[in-house]
Amino acid sequence: MSHDILDVDLLGFEKGLTQSRKAVVDGVMKSLATGFVYTSHDLSEDLLDTAYGMLREFFSKTVEEKQQFVAHGTNGQTGYTGVLLETAASSDKPDWKEMLNWATPIPHGHPLRRRYPQSYPDPVLPESVIPGITEVLFKFHDAMIDLQKRFLRIIAVGVGCHETFFDEMVGYGSALTRAIRYPPMKQLPEQGHVWAAEHGDINLITALPRATAPGLQVKYKGEWIDALPPKGRVIINSGIMLERITNGVLPIGWHRVVASPDFTGERYSVVQFCHPQPSTMLAPVPSCVTSENPLRFSTVSAIDALDEVIYQINLVEDARRVGD
């Protein structure tokens, strides 16, 4: 069933003639029925290798060293988050993973940062223990958000909008990049956990370059499909906000991360969540509301939708849904 997730050519869309662009749009719309699609990209493999090397070095530090980079008061939106803390909304067992979160900061005086400080926290990165990591991770974040903005142009065309529909929405959006280390399963303090339980992402789309080991699975038609992209591809999945904007035409990409029974090692991945500006009103676009697909969602703000999910996934520090 893995063939249900298609491999499309973002670079071909950008360079192609009308017919080839249409083929890419059709492929994206068909594949996102699963919530997932693979795409070509122009991310630097050297940059990805460098980032992974520095992140491995950070995650190999002691718990006490890593805890120095917890950003208290930001509800997990920057800095370090330890294992067995973030919890999928569908679960009461925390995920078996640890994370480092960051974004390139926008100017201090920008009105979005003044109005929504929680969405634009000062980055907390381990520069003092991994010299040079801040520059590398900022460069990686910027390259990823550029890729996602460009991919959203394909989606915009696919749902009947102008290809620049999302451009302003995600300009100075509160995108978040996250490095994740999934420890070996044999180190679990108790049974009954997986690396990351079934969940959907809150944002518009998520981009996932190559991970260091398999484990990502996609839920489609009630079955789990291994997400195994061709070499040199980035995985894109659709989020809750995109489902609302498209009135359900593009569903949430439900997924989980599980270790194969015979896999005893750790897994690293780096993902980026593409968020719109917090003030964005998530209203279904008219082209997606028809007699066959009546209006399904009321309008909510992006910040309200995000705040609800941050609570559900157990990241609100003074209101943990699942106890420590």
CB-based contact 69:133 (threshold 8 Å): no
- pLDDT at 5 > cutoff 60: yes
What pLDDT shows up at residue 189? 79
In the predicted structure, residue 305 carries a pLDDT above the cut 50: yes
- If pLDDT is split at 50, 70 and 90, which confidence band does 320 have? low
Predicted confidence at residue 115, as pLDDT, reads 94
For the stretch 65-81, pLDDT in tens is 999 999 998 888 999 99
Model confidence at 2, in pLDDT bands (50, 70, 90)? low
Using a pLDDT cut of 70, give the percent of the chain over it. Answer: 96
- Say if residues 205 and 274 touch (Cβ distance below 8 Å): yes
Q: What is the mean pLDDT of residues 215-238?
A: 95
Give the separation between CA 104 and CA 198, rounded to whole angstroms.
29
Rounded to two decimals, the pTM is: 0.94
Closest CA relative to residue 176, chosen from 310, 287, 48, 10: 310
Q: Which residues of 158-174 are buried (b: 16+ CB within 10 A; e: fewer)?
A: bbebebebbeebbebbb
Tell me the torsion sign for CA atoms 159, 161, 163, 165. negative
DSSP letter for 185, please. Answer: G
Average pLDDT over residues 273-300: 96
Q: Report whether 212 contacts 268 (CB < 8 A).
A: yes
Per-residue pLDDT averaged across 227-239, rounded?
95
pLDDT at 218: 96
Cα separation, 90 vs 271, in Å, equals 21
Q: For residue 147, is pLDDT > 80?
A: yes
Q: What is the mean pLDDT of the chain?
A: 93
Distance CA 254, CA 238 (A): 9
- Strands 223-226 and 300-301, by their bridges, are unpaired
Token pair, residue 3, equals 């063939």
Q: Identify the pLDDT of residue 323.
A: 62
Between CA 288 and CA 297 the distance in angstroms is 11
**Average pLDDT of span 149-162:** 98
Could you tell me what percent of the chain has a pLDDT over 90?
A: 81
Segment 108-137, tens digit of pLDDT? 899 999 999 989 999 999 999 999 999 999
pLDDT in tens, 237-274: 999 999 999 999 999 999 999 998 889 899 999 999 99
1 has pLDDT over 50: no
**In the chain, domain spans:** 40-312
Look at domain 40-312 and name its CATH class: mainly beta
d(CA 235, CA 228): 9
Give mean pLDDT, residues 148-173. Answer: 97
Amino acid 318: pLDDT? 65
